[in-house]
Homo-oligomer: A and B are copies of this chain.
């Protein structure tokens, strides 16, 4: 009776005895039931239920064929996750949708490449049914690692070229939204429109930069500055732009948080918004936009909705064994006009 030593939990032997089957058969059923005749599977499942052989990995898999948990992997260090409301909104959408599917969300993040192996080990260890990963960077080996862990995966944001094209993703129309923002600045009479972009290794930042260039094909490279999606980097980028091109009269900023920083720099330089410089952001996150003075004109993306969509794609992936991966989704954006442009 070796398994009696694990304490007062019902053992597999007890399940087998109650079901009137051999231990090997009970074990087979607990491990998936393949090759066992349906009436025996039924008997074992009933015994499992009656004995409460449940708070146990194998038995749960038996009942639901699932762990009932999904990992959310954010490829950013913890201080970014807690300081950028983008992540809160995305996680909120994911959390609500997973709860609706009675599935536990477990959140993981990445302080650096040194964490990759450990994360892949956890994901490949059979503890979750699938993973949602976002904020991947271009050189990020994480998507590949998750793929090798053989866990169903949906990405937030268009992956960098080179990522397995079979992995579905959810993104917003970054390029189209950026085009609309820049067109608005041009249409309202701005002649020298600058752009503060995000990190060069993130597709969302690159797509917004491409949208800017779609409209201003001949823009002077001096009108481009790069931030890292934080407020501070927006303030610094704006200062650099003003030093190089004091004649600029409009700026499209690739995130609301960076736009807050840009507004601060403009204020410090004694420039009026929108009279001297018109500003358009990207995201339309209430908690950020609420701090902007004047009110921020920005490109809205439905961040929470994108989180929900990621869960739905993953659930389709989990349900539709053999049906092929679901299609990726690009959600629309819209320009929200307020005081700053």
Contact = CB atoms under 8 A, between A and B. Distances in A.
Interface of A: 1-3, 5-7, 9, 23-24, 27-28, 31-32, 34-36, 54-58, 60, 67-69, 71, 78-79, 82, 85, 87-88, 91-92, 95, 99, 102-108, 111, 114-115, 118-122, 124-128, 149-150
Given A91-B78, A104-B119, A119-B104, A55 B125 contact: yes
A92 B103 CA distance: 26
A103 B108 CA distance: 12
18 contacts: A2-B28, A3-B31, A3-B34, A55-B124, A55-B125, A56-B124, A57-B127, A67-B122, A68-B122, A68-B125, A69-B125, A69-B127, A78-B88, A78-B91, A104-B108, A104-B119, A104-B122, A106-B106
A6 B27 contact: no
Given A88-B78, A106-B108, A127 B67 contact: yes
Contact of A6 (B24, B32, B124): B32
A2 B108 contact: no
6 nearest A-B pairs in the assembled complex, by CB-CB distance: A2-B35, A55-B124, A57-B126, A127-B127, A106-B106, A107-B107
B127 A111 contact: no
A164 B122 CA distance: 30
Chain B CB count within 10 A is highest, among A5, A23, A106, A121, for: A106
Contacts of A128: 127
Contacts of A85: 82
Chain B CB count within 10 A is highest, among A6, A7, A57, A115, for: A57
Contact of A56 (B55, B102, B125): B125
A88 B79 contact: yes
Contacts of A3: 28, 31-32, 34-35
Contacts of A24: 23-24
Contacts of A79: 88, 92
A92 to B, nearest CB: 6
Nearest to A7: B150
Contact of A92 (B5, B78, B108, B119): B78
A57 B104 CA distance: 18
A262 B56 CA distance: 49
A125 B57 contact: yes
A75 to B, nearest CB: 15
B106 A121 contact: no
Nearest to A150: B55
A55 B95 contact: no
A60 B126 CA distance: 10
A252 B55 CA distance: 46
A118 B66 CA distance: 13
Contacts of A2: 28, 32, 34-36
A151 to B, nearest CB: 9
Contacts of A127: 57, 67, 69, 125, 127-128
A187 B78 CA distance: 41
